[in-house]
Amino acid sequence: MNELLGLFISDAVAQTGGGGQGSFLSLLPMVALFVIFYFLLIRPQQKRQKEHKNMVAGLAKGDEVVTMGGVLGKITSVDENFVTLQIAKDTEIKVQRVAVQAMMPKGTV
């Protein structure tokens, strides 16, 4: 039994004693996986964040928007950090600029 166990151990030691190319090849799938994640997940998310930041910076009075909570309204005033939305006749709410999710086409409200 010990001879059989010794045979497997010596084979395992002999395999790990090889050259340095094996370690580089073992890292290759990890690098490929990171590249795939970058192009499929990270890069599109950064692009969406940039588009949202530009949209929030360009908000103006009269724009029709929908908030992240799903409230649809027309901007009546714009402040540095907040916008006031008219959601119904004589009903206005104040929300943070970053809470605006998307701009709607004119005439939606």
Give residue 102's domain range: 60-109
Same domain? 69 vs 100: yes
pLDDT at position 55, please? 96
In the Cβ-directed half-sphere of 8, how many Cα atoms lie within 13 Å? 4
DSSP string for residues in 38-81: IIIIIHHHHHHHHHHHHHHHT--TT-EEEETT--EEEEEEE-SS
Identify whether the C-beta of residue 73 lies closer than 8 Å to the C-beta of residue 109: yes
CATH number at residue 76: 2.30.30
Identify the domain boundary among 23, 42, 57. Answer: 57
Tens of pLDDT along 24-75?
888 999 999 999 999 999 999 999 999 999 999 999 999 999 999 999 999 9
Q: For residue 17, give the 3-state DSSP assignment.
A: coil
pLDDT at position 101, please? 96
pLDDT at position 26, please? 86
Q: In this model, does residue 11 exceed pLDDT 70?
A: no
- Percent of the chain topping pLDDT 70: 81
Same domain? 16 vs 46: yes
Q: Which residues pair with 9 in a beta bridge?
A: none
Confidence tier at 4 by pLDDT (50, 70, 90):
low
Identify the domain boundary among 40, 57, 74. Answer: 57
Identify the domain boundary among 57, 74, 90. Answer: 57
Q: In this model, does residue 82 exceed pLDDT 80?
A: yes
Same domain? 3 vs 52: yes
Confidence tier at 21 by pLDDT (50, 70, 90):
low
